[in-house]
A and B are shown apart, each in its own frame.
Chain A
Amino acid sequence: DAEITQSPRHKITETGRQVTLACHQTWNHNNMFWYRQDLGHGLRLIHYSYGVQDTNKGEVSDGYSVSRSNTEDLPLTLESAASSQTSVYFCASSETSANGELFFGEGSRLTVL
């Protein structure tokens, strides 16, 4: 069965370190998204991609970067982790259409000390 997987599921890091969260989907979807979820804010869009070599900034992109070298993967990098980036991160994908539902991964819980 097709799926979308995130790793690691839990990570603790220190302020200033670089962190990469992996996202891999086997749906062959062109669209991929990264959201963060915080209490009181719901899910907020960080970065998104409509295909290989395409990346775009979302609502809360400062301090984050993504790259899309193939269809299956969209890794999210925190160049210098800050305590404000402690959150649960969700990757999602969708087909290329105007009415696409999102398929979500199980989330990566990141704690920055």
Chain B
Amino acid sequence: SQQGEEDPQALSIQEGENATMNCSYKTSINNLQWYRQNSGRGLVHLILIRSNEREKHSGRLRVTLDTSKKSSSLLITASRAADTASYFCATDATGGGNKLTFGTGTQLKVEL
């Protein structure tokens, strides 16, 4: 079963706009991670947020985590056409031994 569910499934925005993707999960976690996948390629790690953290930044990325609601959001600011990709959240469940459970992903399209 999927631990993480992303929302929306697809998102289309104009270059320069912000993109927000949400992830919900079901069990307690050690950390939550976001990955990016360009078409036909492998996944690439973007950012990790630990269960005791509420917000984290990396360049144009901002991730929030609300463990009481079992949800996370990924914000990409000032998006570029090169940000077009699928984005996945993944959870490392408590006691899970570093096995990540992935959501179904959000397809982001950034148009010029």
Tell me the A residues contacting B by CB distance below 8 Å: 31, 33, 35, 40-45, 48, 50, 58-59, 90, 92, 94, 96-107
Contacts and interface: CB of A to CB of B under 8 A. Distances in A.
Contact of B43 (A41, A96, A99, A104): A104
Contacts of A90: 42-43
Interface string B12-50: 000000000000000000110101000011111100101
21 contacts: A31-B98, A40-B104, A42-B103, A44-B102, A45-B99, A48-B99, A90-B42, A90-B43, A97-B98, A99-B30, A99-B31, A99-B50, A99-B92, A101-B33, A101-B45, A101-B48, A102-B35, A102-B43, A102-B90, A103-B45, A107-B40
Contacts of B105: 42
A45 B96 CA distance: 13
A107 B40 CA distance: 8
B99 A33 contact: yes
A98 B88 CA distance: 20
Contacts of B2: 41-42
A59 B42 CA distance: 20
Interface of B: 1-2, 4, 30-31, 33, 35, 40-45, 48, 50, 88, 90, 92, 97-105
Q: Say whether chain B's binding surface is mostly helix, strand, loop, or mixed.
A: strand
Given A45-B99, A105-B42, 4 more contacts: A41-B104, A42-B4, A106-B42, A107-B40
A104 B43 CA distance: 6
A8 to B, nearest CB: 15
A55 to B, nearest CB: 13
Nearest to B94: A98
A41 B104 CA distance: 6
Which 7 A-B pairs give the minimum distances between C-beta atoms?
A104-B42, A43-B102, A42-B104, A101-B45, A104-B43, A42-B102, A106-B42
B96 to A, nearest CB: 9
